[in-house]
Structure formats: C-alpha cells, structure tokens
Amino acid sequence: MSTPPLDRTRRHRFLSVDFVTARTLEECRDCLLHCQHLAGQSLSLQDDNSFSIQRTVEGDEPAEVRFWGTLETVPRGTWVWGTVIQAAEAGRRGTMFVVFGAAILIALVVDALLRGTPSQALVWGLLLVALGIAVFLTWRRRYRYALQIITWMYDTLYVSPERT
C-alpha cells in the first residue's frame, strides 16, 4: 500500500492533516512535546500515540480551536493524521441562534412585503444581511485560527524522504 505524495494545495480542504513524514514515531512524539508551540496552545499526548491540541486565542471575543490527531508507524516513517474539531455545545447554540434569527427576519421581510410596506421590508432585509455578515466574519476568524494549527502541524512534523 503506497501513500500518495503530499499535495500541499489540498492540505486545508477539510481542516485536517493526513501525511507520512520521514520522522520516526519517537521523533514525532518528541517534537510535539518540545517544539515551539503557537501562543495559547496546549498539547496532550497519550500513550497510544493519539494527541490533542487546544488553542485559545484572546481578542475581542476569545476563540477556542481544538485538534485531535494520531501518530502511526508505517514503513516510510510515521503517518500523521487528524482533524480540527469544534466544541459541540458552543457550535449548536450559535447555529440555533443564527437559524432562529434568520427565520424570524425572513418572516418579517415577507410579512412587510405582503402588507405593502417596502420600506419596512428593506429594514428587515438589511438586518438579515447584517446577520449574514456577522456569521461570515465569525466563521472566517475561527477558520483562520484552525488553519494556523494545521499549518503548524505540517511545519513541525513533515519531513520529506529526501531530507532524511
């Protein structure tokens, strides 16, 4: 079973890592424990070679990004794979708020149009657009922090077979 070469253009597609590094399992474990971490990042490495990374980013609104991964020995080195996971509770609450708010605003726009008050429909429509922009900016911020963890994983652990 051969592993395809690392395609760095696809590496962020699903906010996950999946590559084989020329490092040994012990080198990967040591590097995870002792390499320079991102600010606000903590790592937990288990005996079964699974690990989790939690990163809290302070700012206007503190953001938390979590990554879960594992290391496995393969003939060419170590297979590193994992993905960014989100806190389920916060994600569900936020999603429900957005869906509920958007549904109410859409109902208000339709109601205003049916009553023949386009100015009121415009106001509700602008509020709906503002909600959409706020959701997009929040998603983009979390996505950016998740990409930082993914990039850190590649920069920290990936070594091509030619470099060994």
**pLDDT tens, residue by residue, 103-162:** 999 999 999 999 999 999 999 999 999 999 988 887 787 788 888 888 888 898 998 877
Q: Per-residue confidence at 8, pLDDT binned at 50, 70, 90? A: very low
Percent of the chain with pLDDT strictly greater than 70: 82
pLDDT digits (tens, 9 = 90+) for 128-140: 999 999 888 877 8
Displacement of CA 63 from its chain's centroid (Å): 11
> What is the bridge-based pairing of β-strands 77-85 and 41-45?
unpaired
Please state whether beta strands 50-57 and 63-74 pair in parallel, antiparallel, or not at all (unpaired): antiparallel
Asked whether residue 9 carries a pLDDT value surpassing 50, the answer given is: no
pLDDT for residue 50 is more than 70: yes
* pLDDT higher than 80, residue 98: yes
**Packed helices 25-34 and 118-157: angle between N→C axes, nearest 10 degrees:** 120
Query: What band does 86 get if pLDDT is binned at 50, 70 and 90?
Result: low
